[in-house]
Structure 1
Amino acid sequence: MTLAVTGATGLVGRFFVEEALARGESVTILGRTPPPPGFFPAPTGFRPYALGDRPDLSGIDALIHCAFSHLPGRYRGGEGSDPEGFTRANLDGSVALFEAARAAGTGTVLFLSSRAVYGRYPPGTALTETLTPYPDTLYGKVKAEAERRLFALASDSFAPVALRATGIYGAAGPGRAHKWQALFEDFRQDRPIAPRRGTELHGADLAAAARLLRDTGARGIFNASDILLDRHDLLALVAEAEGILHPLPPRSDAAVSVMQCDRLAALGWTPGGIARLKASLPALCRPRPALTGPGPAD
């Protein structure tokens, strides 16, 4: 089996690559520049790719599409002052990639979508895959439309999958910050922290879901989410691990819509829950390792 991954050096894409490498699978990175030496634990292939291109996908059995163009650190609102350019890069670019995969005979395309497609549903709604997309951001609209355009290409030999992921956490690659890096530093410095809670999923559990979908030949839309986490509880773990005595932020009382993951669970998927968060914390609290050479491109 040969796998190609876009956005492979980003926080989320890296988990798909590392899972495949751990299984001895051949992985090809599609990106603007090759990953720097040592970024991944084993060698990978590389083919030049930027959103909007129709890359060479000959010999590729499966494609995972994670690449997304946005302002640094922002997805919702990531279009900045250029919504047309944002849409052109991310929607038109994704469709061009899907069409290239179908033309090349790539049998499975997994698109990393987002819970943002459910944006306008009232807080506290149980979010299932049968709900009609109701996005309230351009990011969510682009993800929902990219899903629709992908499934329009489905055939007996072309199996599309949309994996709607919640917030992904986990240790970052060399030279990269994990998603809570700034939050942890604010807490260490006793800066004000606003109450917040939301749903989270470890990147390794997301990669395990993708593996299960590929192995079972599943197609369609699948939610991927795990724990409902309050910043108060997360930072309490950090305080215990690092001996921090600052007061914790207050708990949030906001209602949260939680994605129901029954479709994945029916295939045997079981994410790691709070135990995985606690096991991951030492790596999240460590300083980031330095990376020599040019920085990786998503």
Structure 2
Amino acid sequence: MKIALTGATGIAGQAILQSLAAHDVTILGRSTVAGHSHIKWTLDAPAPDLSGFDALIHAAFQHAPGKYRGGEGNDPAGFITSNLDGTVRLFDAAAAHGLSHVIFLSSRAVFDGYPKGTTLTEDLPPKPTSLYGEVKVKAEAHLSALPLTGITLRATGLYGKGNANKWAPLIADYLSGNAIEPRVASEVHVQDLAQACQIALSQNQSSIFHVSDILLDRHDLLAMVQNLTNSPNSLPKRSDADVSQLECTNLKALGWQPGGMELLRQTLPDLLP
């Protein structure tokens, strides 16, 4: 399969690209990636020529460094122009050039308006509270109306090696003896997201897939760090917050099996400083 991939140097895109070794992947973006064809493109630009491609995987998103919710900074209009208008142009080009599949990386943020502790099913209507979530919802809706197989992957927090090591500052603070605020959140390994993407490529009808795995308390994460490093530092208290979790019924029905706590344990040594 000949695939166009956006966001290949990002947290999600790196893992997705690595999982597509059996395919002919062209990078759409500012930067080249060794071993792959490249088309220079940004979300602010006209859509690239997608003729000859079978599928598009769209994982690119422009935002303030380190922020998704609130990633518009002081330029909400520019945020919409880049991320929504640019995405719509890209999806329209995919339809116009006859691509069979478009896979869109969306977010759990589309459900932020629900009370904490809500079970988030695939058929639950979105209720975003951030501009980030609103843009994702509108892009999802545009994709679903196009004459192709459009798959939306709504992912929770991603973790893993490389760019995906979002816990580096947290682990450094803990090992330095700094106080750590309690927090609990849902997480999924980037490899499991990549596995979900491969499943999506095999589907023949438009769908929404939720991508989430473990509910992780910082106390438990840092207890594993403590065990690996023999740190004498105190662990944070467990969080008593409720968390709304994505229910991943559709993906699991197709054989998706995320790595759970065992994959976290295997990965954690590579995330230490």
Output the TM-score relative to the length of structure 2.
Answer: 0.97
Cα distance in 1 for partners of 2:117, 2:105 equals 24
3-state SS of paired residue (1:98): helix
The RMSD of aligned alpha carbons is 1.1
Pair 1:284-2:262 in alignment: no
Are the counterparts in 1 of residues 149 and 206 from structure 2 also a CA contact under 8 Å?
Answer: yes
User: Is this contact kept in 2: 1:213–1:219, CA < 8 A?
Assistant: no
Aligned length: 272
Q: For each residue in 1:142-188, what CA deviation from the matched residue of structure 2 results, as whole angstroms up to 9, or x when unmatched?
A: 101110111121x2xx111110000010001xxx4611111111111
1:293 corresponds to which residue? none
* Partner of residue 13, structure 2: 13
Matches within 5 A, 1:1-298: 1-21=1-21, 24-35=22-33, 37=34, 43-52=35-44, 53-153=46-146, 155=147, 158-172=148-162, 176=163, 178-285=165-272, 287=273
Deviation, 1:217, is 2.6
Q: In structure 2, what is the Cα distance between the partners aligned to 1:263 and 1:135?
A: 22
Q: Could you tell me which amino acid in structure 2 is paired with residue 72 of structure 1? A: P
CA contact (8 A) 1:114 1:140 kept: yes
In the alignment, is the contact (CA less than 8 A) between 1:77 and 1:139 conserved in 2? yes
Residue aligned with 1:161, SS: strand
Amino acid of the structure 1 residue aligned with 2:79:
F
Amino acid at match of 1:85: G
Aligned amino acid, residue 101 of structure 1? A
CA deviation after TM superposition for structure 1 residue 57, in Å: 1.3
Identity %: 50
Query: Which amino acid letter does the alignment assign opposite residue 28 of structure 1?
Result: T
C-alpha separation between the residues in 2 aligned to 1:33 and 1:269? 31
Q: Distance in 1 between matches of 2:185 and 2:210?
A: 15
Q: Over residues 53-110 of structure 1, what are the superposed CA-to-partner deviations in whole Å (9 max), with x where a residue is unaligned?
A: 3112122111110110000000001111111111111000100100111111111000
Q: How far is 1:10 from its partner? A: 0.5
The aligned amino acid for 2:236 is P
TM-superposed deviation, 1:218: 4.2
Q: 1:241: how far off?
A: 1.0
In structure 1, stretches of 5+ residues that fail to align are: 38-42, 288-298
Distance 2:2 2:227 in 1: 43
